[in-house]
Amino acid sequence: MFNTLLAVFIGGGVGSVSRWYISLKLNPTSSLIPIGTLVVNLTGALIIGLMIALFNRMTQWDPVWKMLLTTGLCGGLTTFSTFSLEVVYMLQDGRFGAALLNIALNLIGSIAMTMLGFMLVSWYSAH
């Protein structure tokens, strides 16, 4: 139990510091949508798709690694709360098109990236 707790703690720390840094650097580069938030959400979605697909195939791997990489790293890296807040700010500013674009890119994009992660592992395993 302690190993799992420590793994989630470490993964979450790395993920959330990475999210902060990526958003700090990328969000100012676009006035349309918060690019940093989109990048961390898409990246986290791809990572979790890859990791779950790998762990489903590699059942001998220690489950602590799964918790570090999925619950910890991906949980810390991705952010639904910041995404939601940014959409609310866009709506309050009357930027309805940007809000809709942001919603579509984050939600559809994240699902697509998770699927891509599964597909990449499947493709790689077949070759």
Annotated binding site: 75, 78
Q: Where are the domains positioned within the chain?
A: 2-126
Please report the pLDDT score of residue 127 as a whole number.
87
Annotated binding site for Na(+): 75, 78
Q: Is the pLDDT reported for residue 18 higher than 90?
A: yes
67-113 pLDDT, tens digit per residue, is 999 999 999 999 999 999 999 999 999 999 999 999 999 999 999 99
Answer positive or negative: Cα dihedral of 77, 80, 81, 85: positive
Spell out a b/e string for 32-63, using b for 16 or more CB atoms within 10 Å of the CB, else e.
ebbbbbbbbbbbbbbbbbbbbbbbeeeeeeee
